[in-house]
Structure 1
């Protein structure tokens, strides 16, 4: 299996990586992101953790996780923000309704009691650390999840 490959992007403040369908590409993608951010480990930690979750979600829930599948990752370094984009290959063949990115809140885990149902943790983690996140694309097509992170590494204050 070929290793992930760097993408040539026109913007000098942007970096890109194309990964294959195998979960072994998760670790090199995290290392690449840490280098692409050109920042301190503390400042890069939230984005790198979110990238790992979004990458894993793409492999688990879309055609990106099938043989020949791909995950495209882009990072843009802006003056006050890091912008992350993770694009999948669209829904798996044969799926009835294409799944859209959704955070599943489990009230019992907010108070520390009980176990949450499986699912929703990846985007819940992204939501807890990103200043903002959304997705673009049409159901049934490739989707790109986008998230913005403070260059300082500070995460969003949920008490505001």
Structure 2
């Protein structure tokens, strides 16, 4: 199964994206993890790309089959690439920054994640394996 929806590039639309996914994936065993990761990806699209500028947008795609769920967020590109920021020494004030750790959450919760794209548009994918008992 496959669904896709485009959301205006506003912060209130992150909640709308989570609601969209929650309705479609009701009953998926790790739904809370999926929704947390989707939240991170949507927020990143708004904070770090042109999607968060006036008139911007982002797209959410959901693929669900017998073995997994993949959520993807496509943004309108930006100057940086998605990357996991390493944990640093806690004595360093920059290490205590509130932002910049979202992809660590994605990496910890998703079975796998990747990204594709160019400076004009990119898509970040996160895949979650369905537990064997639910297949």
Task: Please identify which structure carries the higher strand content.
Answer: 2
> Do the aligned partners of 1:105 and 1:120 also contact (CA within 8 Å) in 2?
no
Corresponding residue of 2:34: 47
Count of aligned pairs between the two proteins? 129
TM-score (norm 2): 0.87
CA deviations over 1:66-88 (Å, ceiling 9, x no partner):
11101100000011100111000
Structure 2 unmatched ranges of 5 or more: none
C-alpha distance in 2, partners of 1:134/1:81? 15
Structure 1's unaligned 5+ residue stretches are 1-12, 92-97, 153-160
Matched, 1:24 2:24: no
* Alignment partner of 1:133 out of 113, 116, 132: 113
| Structure ID, larger Rg | 1
Higher relative contact order (CA 8 A, sep 6+): 2
CA RMSD of aligned residues (A): 1.8
Moved over 6 A (4+): none
* Residue 3 of structure 2 corresponds to residue 15 of structure 1: yes
